[in-house]
Homo-oligomer: A and B are copies of this chain.
């Protein structure tokens, strides 16, 4: 998860066991867990490799993310307390300051973007949705972000979109908040696609 082991590299059980100072038994159990999280792929009798995300897989993840986070925004309208919404607004004000200070470059890098999404996901109060997005998909997206050092810095635009979503949630407008969240993620997806194309040249 930290990215210490490069994406795509083969995992040698004896080597890893030595480096972590554990026996192969617990290590294999751990690998099986990572397999469940789709972070390593395992071929019987051949070995385990750290998964690599190609453009298509990232594309697919973003489609899933759009559906799930859209639902999260809808449920957040239903289930976030007035207090939680007030705190969400405070967070956005902090982000505003942070962008003004750092000239906007560090918004995505310091998890500011994820902070916002994280709160709304939590606000859905749907435990399964939370686990799916925050534990399972997040690691995969994060893995990609490690590689391409987030060039998609469009902090002011993103912040504006965040504010719109926040407003819709404040008004408890389920339809609108879902729509805006889906568009927001869809836009991010398109930016990544663009990036992949220019990268390929």
Q: For residue A127, which residues in chain B have a CB less than 8 angstroms away from its CB?
A: 57, 60
Q: Residue among A35, A68, A75, A128 with the most chain B CB within 10 A?
A: A128
How many copies of this protein are present in the complex? 2
Q: For residue A67, which residues in chain B have a CB less than 8 angstroms away from its CB?
A: 67-68, 70-71
Given A33-B36, A35-B36, residue A64 in contact with residue B28 (CB < 8 A): no
Given A33-B32, A70-B67, A71-B66, residue A57 in contact with residue B128 (CB < 8 A): yes
Residue in B29, B64, B75 whose CB lies within 8 Å of A126? B64
Closest chain B residue, CB of each to CB of A132: B64
Residue in B29, B35, B37, B129 whose CB lies within 8 Å of A64? B129
User: Is A61 engaged at the interface, CB distance under 8 Å to the other chain?
Assistant: yes
User: Is A63 engaged at the interface, CB distance under 8 Å to the other chain?
Assistant: yes
Shortest distance between the CB of A37 and any CB in chain B (Å): 7
